[in-house]
Structure 1
Amino acid sequence: MISICIATYNGAKYLEEQLASILLQMESSDELIISDDGSKDETINIIKNYAAQDPRIKFFKGPGKGVIANFEFAITQSQGEIIFLADQDDVWLSEKVQTILNFFQNHPEKDLVISDLVIVDEHLEVIEPSYFEYRNVTLGVLHNIIKNKYIGAGMAFRSSLKSIILPIPAKVPMHDMWIGLIAETKNKSALIPQQLTLYRRHDGNASEIDTKASCFQQLRWRISLIIALISRKILKVK
């Protein structure tokens, strides 16, 4: 059984296309967890219409505290052995779920994977053929603390990580950075080079490829992140 977690907020414009691409890859025993953070557009109606026709969809009212807390809540509700994170506005390519499940089966020592993505515009026209190449994605704790390359839209992990991940500290920069670093510190993460997601960029994205935050704000985020990792006893201070 797998769990796919989506955190929604005013995502009506692209949500149906994403839901369709995901549901086609799910087995009858799988679950799609959708936590909505107080959408004002047609997002909730879309979700309710899909949920009425598909029992695999489990719809929750989110905590209303932003994207990090919304994903945290969705992950908390998950029951699957493998947990996928999904953005509300992307499109999953048809081989995504099976490719990632095959990787976990063939690599029992790994607890988290990130697959490559194709960066596209709102019309799904290719902007960059490889997110990994565009962002120079590599593993490494220090490297990713300094400049985060972990991306939730390509992320999946074993449920065994939940006990370490949760709760997600409120002051970390993003949920995917926190989750990726925890797996990384335990040498349990891996990259899948196949492009398995159309990663849509548009005016309403909740996340940025290249952050516009000031250097001071980025430094504060990094300090908060390191403190959180030490407090969680993920990083050791000698």
Structure 2
Amino acid sequence: MTTPIAISVIMACRNAGRFLDAALRSVRAQSLGDIEILVVDDASTDDTARRCLAHAAQDPRIRLLRGQGVGPGAARALAVAAARGAWLAIVDADDLIHPRRLELLHAEGEASGAEIVADTVIAFHDQPGYRRAFPLLQGAAWTRLTEISLPAYIDANRLFERVPSLGYLKPLIRRQWLAETGIEYDPDLRIGEDYDLMVRLLAAGGRFRVIPTPLYLYRRHAGSTSHRMRSADIEALHAAGERFLAGLPDGDARVAARRRQVSLRTALHFSRAVDALKQGQALQAARLCVSRPRAGVLLARALAAAVRNRLQPAWRRLAPPGRRPPDVLVLGPDRRTATDTLARLRAAGLRSRYLATPPGADQRGLEAVSASCLVGLATTLAGLDPPPRLIAAEPLASDLRPFLIPGVYEDAPSA
């Protein structure tokens, strides 16, 4: 008889060798050890499979599955079919998770009875000139436990809107409930596959709870699939949206779904205009922008951003050098308790900096640290290049160590 597993971690990847070691180390380091890790190599042409097998040789919880290169929707579906855990956890192969993430989300799911649970997200750049972290969900609403309705989820996933995108949340999903609904990943979707699954699950009556602690670290980089939307991918996403809309009754969710379809049509015009410019068809690009003016505004913004990116390296060379970052960052609830430590560091010739943490956090750990504190810490540390070492009283030291971005898990042994 197969022993039950608490969580099946699903990681679909294609040519993710550059990031896979760090992603797998972050999953292997989870405080909740009752997990399996299903890595789907979706016909990669780099060393993704070799790196995964190296980790699997050290950790029997890892299984490598071979995809057909169809796309992330099909790769995720393959992993779901092979999963044995009571919960499914989606983690992208270029992202990182806090060591206690699965423990805390699992506890919330079991206690609340919700079918879907997630945490908030800290994004960090992985490009030259971007050493900055920031919360993807901002505002007072995300500093407390939140339950997300279907209309709210749809509205927060319209493209090119100034609203926090809930599509970036990577949920834990109760596997038995997923099987009972019969809802599966759409294998035809190369982008938006998680959103498409989530709206159908919510429409089926799923409860979606979000804890306020940001434990998922989302890496932004030039090679990210979500940053390279092709016209064909948007068309497939729009078609999936039309199928979903056709089954919705009148109400707030239907109104929200219609608004999202409008944003997808704008995105399609924008994408086609970009394609036309790349092919030297400026007149065709202009026609597309005239037929949908919002696409023209987006194209102008994209061109301005491209010019800024071209000029940025030269500007950085001309800009005066910034202050040298500290070698060591000392965390604690009271600066007086850190005085001796700071003095010893100075005597050793090390530049140090003190950062205050909430009172009592060093005794109670991560639960005592507010979401705003973690985001502030991540933003502070991410701006320091190279990142400093971290000194703090346990258990806070291990809880806050992952927010040293970049540098998360980089001091862990490689597989």
TM range (shorter): 0.7 to 0.9
Q: How does 1:205-216 map to 2 (within 5 A)?
A: 205-208=224-227
Q: CA deviation at 1:213?
A: 6.2
Unaligned runs of 5+ in 2: 1-5, 158-164, 251-415
Q: Distance in 2 between matches of 1:57 and 1:219?
A: 35
Asked whether the equivalents of residues 36 and 44 of structure 1 are also in contact (C-alpha less than 8 Å), the reply is yes
TM-score (norm 1): 0.82
Match of 2:177 in 1: 161
Which of 194, 197, 200 does residue 213 from structure 2 map onto? 194
Q: How does 1:1-150 map to 2 (within 5 A)?
A: 1-25=6-30, 29-108=34-113, 110-122=114-126, 125-128=131-134, 130-133=135-138, 139-148=148-157, 149-150=165-166
Structure 1 58/152 Cα, relative in aligned 2: closer, same or farther at 3 Å? Answer: farther
Q: Deviations over 1:91-122 (max 9, x none)?
A: 111221111011112201x1001210101011
How much has 1:220 moved relative to structure 2?
Answer: 4.0
The percentage of counterpart residues that share the same residue type is 20
Q: Specify every segment of 5 or more residues in structure 1 that has no aligned partner in the other structure, as ranges.
A: none
Q: Which amino acid aligns with 2:71?
A: G
Q: Secondary structure at the match of 1:89?
A: coil
CA distance in 2, matches of 1:26, 1:99: 9
TM-score by length of 2: 0.49
Pair 139,179 (structure 1): closer, same or farther in 2 beyond 3 Å:
same
The whole-number CA distance in structure 2 between the counterparts of 1:165 and 1:207 is 27
* More off after superposition, 136-145 vs 15-24: 136-145
CA contact (8 A) 1:87 1:153 kept: no
- Provide the secondary structure at the position in 2 that maps to 1:169: coil
Per-residue CA deviation, residues 28-83 of structure 1 (Å, 9 max, x unaligned), is: 54210011111111111101111122110011101321111111111111110011
Two-structure CA RMSD over aligned residues (Å): 3.0
Structure 1 residues 236 and 168: alpha-carbon distance in aligned structure 2, compared to 1, 3 A threshold: farther
CA distance in 1, matches of 2:201, 2:78: 19
Residue identity opposite 1:115 in structure 2: D
Aligned length: 227
Structure 1 range deviating more: 187-196 or 13-22: 187-196
Larger RCO, structures 1/2 (Cα 8 Å, 6+ apart):
1
Alignment CA distance shift 1:150-1:77 (3 Å): farther
Q: Relative to total residues, which structure has the larger helix share, 1 or 2?
A: 2
Counterpart of 2:222?
203
CA distance in 1, matches of 2:8, 2:166: 20
Partner Cα distance (1:165, 1:115) in 2: 25
Contact kept, 8 Å, 2:53 with 2:64, in 1: the verdict is yes
The alpha-carbon distance between structure 1 residues 143 and 165, as it changes in their structure 2 partners (threshold 3 A), is farther
Equivalent residue letter for 1:47 = C
Secondary structure of 1:81's aligned partner = strand
CA deviation profile, 1:180-236 (whole Å, cap 9, x unmatched)? 22332214111121100110000111224x97869x846544213334xx3xxxx45
**Counterparts in 2 of 1:165 and 1:201: CA distance versus 1, 3 Å:** farther
Flag the structure with larger Rg: 2
Which stretch of structure 1 is more off in the superposition, 144-153 or 75-84?
144-153
